[in-house]
Amino acid sequence: MDQERLEHIRHSAAHMLAAAVLELYPRTKLGIGPTVENGFYYDFLFPQGTTVSEEDLASIETVMKKIISGHHDFVGRSVTAVEAESEEADQPFKLELIKEFAGEGKNLTIYESGPFKDLCRGGHVDNTSEIPADGLKLHRVAGAYWRGSEKNPMLTRIYGLLFATKEELDSYLEKLEEAKKRDHRKLGAELDLFTFSDLVGAGLALWTPKGTLLRNTLDDFVWQLRKERGYEKVTIPHITKKDLYETSGHWDKFKDDLFKITTREGHEFAMKPMNCPHHTQIFNHVSRSYRDLPQRYAETTMCYRDEQTGELHGLSRVRGFTQDDAHVFCRESQVKEEMFKIWDIIEAFYKAVGFNDLRVRLSLHDPAQFEKYLGTKEVWENTEKQLREMVAERGVEAFEALGEAAMYGPKIDFMAKDSIGREWQVATIQIDRNQPERFDLVCVNEQGEKERVVMVHAAIMGSIERFLSILIEHHAGAFPVWVSPVQVLLAPVSSKHVGGARALLNELTEAGIRTGIDEADETIGNKVRKAAGQKIPYIVVVGDKELGGEPWMIRVRGQKDQVKMTKEEFIEKVRNEIAGKI
Number of alpha helices (DSSP H) and beta strands (DSSP E) in the chain = 18, 28
According to CATH, the topology of domain 3-177 is: Threonyl-tRNA Synthetase; Chain A, domain 2 (3.30.980)
pLDDT in tens, 505-520: 999 999 999 999 999 9
Backbone angles phi, psi at 197, to 5 degrees: -130, 130
325 assigned to active site: yes
Residue of 411, 475, 497, 535 with catalytic role: 411
Residue in 288, 319, 327, 555 annotated catalytic:
327
Q: Is 388 a catalytic residue?
A: no
Of these residues, 43, 118, 325, 432, which one is catalytic? 325
pLDDT of residue 149: 82
* Tens-digit pLDDT profile for residues 179-215: 999 999 999 999 999 999 999 999 999 999 999 999 9
Domain boundaries, the chain: 3-177, 190-353+432-475, 488-579
pLDDT band at 396 (very low <50, low <70, confident <90, very high): very high
Active-site entry in 305, 466, 475, 527: 305
Can 411 be counted among the known catalytic residues? yes
pTM attached to this predicted model: 0.85
Q: What is the secondary structure of 172-233 as a DSSP string?
A: HHHHHHHHHHH-HHHHHHHTT-EE--TTT-TT--EE-HHHHHHHHHHHHHHHHHHHTTT-EE
Q: Is 369 a catalytic residue?
A: no
Class for domain 190-353+432-475, per CATH? alpha beta
Residue tagged active-site, from 120, 276, 330, 443: 276
CB-CB contact of 455 with 442 (8 Å): no
pLDDT tens-place string over residues 77-118: 999 999 999 999 999 999 999 999 999 999 999 999 988 999
Catalytic residue at 292?
A: no
CA atoms of 458 and 478, how far apart (whole Å): 28
Q: Domain 488-579 is classified in which CATH homologous superfamily?
A: Anticodon-binding domain (3.40.50.800)
DSSP 437-463: HHTT-EEE-TTS-EEE-EEEEEEEEEE
pLDDT of residue 265: 92
305 is catalytic: yes
Catalytic residue among 72, 226, 457, 535: 457
